[in-house]
Structure 1
């Protein structure tokens, strides 16, 4: 299937591993030129080297909590590749976890600053050029937690709920300019972030990581009827569809990639 995005310029944040990296891979396979970004000190340059056989890809270090760095990232991508036609914001962290009464303001602020305000900054920097050209695709990565909160991850859940609202609002504001904004909500995907979660769980329960995953699925995610972690490429496929001309009438939607984890029709 031709997705109709060959030659489009894509910017993917949070792309040195996991969902972001796999999204960049699929966009390259569809003929896009891609700028990938992640925070300084990571492996974004190495990821770009690994992807370079698939097409033109550049790496840009940027911290999404730093407005100047975000604006510089968007400007550098535009200078080297052209203005972004496609923006996928994958930058995010689990953030502050634990009993609500024990999570302090700093923990909440850091989680919201990366997950929610990071997306705000990137969108604010990238959307104007899309409006000028009357074509754009923006995909924000939310989570099942946005509509099905878990009591030990409330800062994360609130930040992802904010992303759903942000995506819906942007879709209304800029849809008339043919800048389509949607969100994707994964659940328990095999990424470095959930690897760390399961390693911690295994240590706490004195079990193997595989046993920790099995018990987590049974006890914490009973709605995931496929009874396994998702794969990053399964989420990436949904993202790239929303970036494509095949999704030219999809705007303001939230696409769940969650194995049925959210146990309601609403949200």
Structure 2
């Protein structure tokens, strides 16, 4: 399928690994020019170098938990290819503070919200004006199964992702008339460095192998995942690329689950 976005400029945050990198790869294969961003300068530049075989890609380090970081990203992206980006894929995020609700202080809550909600607010605010001027735009946020199916041990993350889901719907209403389609992709338990770390910790706590930790996690924590495995990054990236495309010109305000059935209800 021709996605009709060859030659456009995209910004992909959280791009040095995991779902951000996989999304960048899919966009590059469609002829999109990509600005890749993440916190670690060396890592994001290495990722860009590896992806450069697929197309035009530039790298910049930016801390999106601050307004200054978002401004740095915007200034770089606006000049990297000589035109303002019209695609934004916001994959930056962290698991954040976890544990018993009563043991998580304000600092843990605010750090999680800054990374998982406010970073998305800042990047959208930075790039929507250029999309409005172009009368065309695509924004894809990464929510999670946790946005609609919270887990008690990671409530800051759940609350931030629920807020991001609401932001998705709100921005779709605010800027749809400008030709900007705003959607979310909701992955669940994908094979990324984030879930690798979760399973390594679980394996150590239970005294089992990594694979046994994954198997027990699926059985105990994710009974709805009918495929009985972690998802693959490319399975999520394919959904992201579609939502960025001309083929998705009548889809906005949606939360597309790529979760193997993890969410057990019909709630969006």
Do they fold alike, i.e. is TM over 0.5?
yes
CA RMSD of aligned residues (A): 0.7
TM-score normalised per structure 2: 0.99
Partners of 2:102 and 2:85 in 1: CA distance: 42
Quote the residue 1:30 is aligned against. 30
Alignment gaps of 5+ in structure 1: none
Quote the residue 1:213 is aligned against. 214
Q: Secondary structure at the match of 2:153?
A: coil
Quote the residue 2:72 is aligned against. 72
Quote the residue 2:21 is aligned against. 21
Q: Is the 8 A contact 1:144 1:186 kept in 2?
A: yes
Q: Figure out how many residues of one structure are paired with residues of the other and give that number.
A: 267
Alignment gaps of 5+ in structure 2: none
Q: Is the 8 A contact 1:16 1:42 kept in 2?
A: no
Quote the residue 2:58 is aligned against. 58
Task: Report deviation, 1:69.
Answer: 1.7
Task: Report deviation, 1:75.
Answer: 1.4
Partners of 1:168 and 1:42 in 2: CA distance: 35
Task: Report deviation, 1:174.
Answer: 0.2
Q: Is the 8 A contact 2:41 2:60 kept in 1?
A: no
Partners of 1:42 and 1:214 in 2: CA distance: 34
Quote the residue 1:157 is aligned against. 158
Q: Secondary structure at the match of 1:83?
A: coil
Q: Which has the larger displacement, 85-94 or 66-75?
A: 66-75
Partners of 2:220 and 2:41 in 1: CA distance: 35
Residues 188 and 42 of structure 1: is their aligned pair in 2 closer, same or farther, counting only changes over 3 Å?
farther
Task: Report deviation, 1:41.
Answer: 5.0
Quote the residue 2:173 is aligned against. 172
Partners of 2:66 and 2:266 in 1: CA distance: 37
Quote the residue 1:84 is aligned against. 85
Task: Report deviation, 1:129.
Answer: 0.5
Task: Report deviation, 1:42.
Answer: 5.4
1:224-239 pair list within 5 angstroms? 224-239=225-240
TM-score normalised per structure 1: 0.99
Partners of 1:71 and 1:142 in 2: CA distance: 23
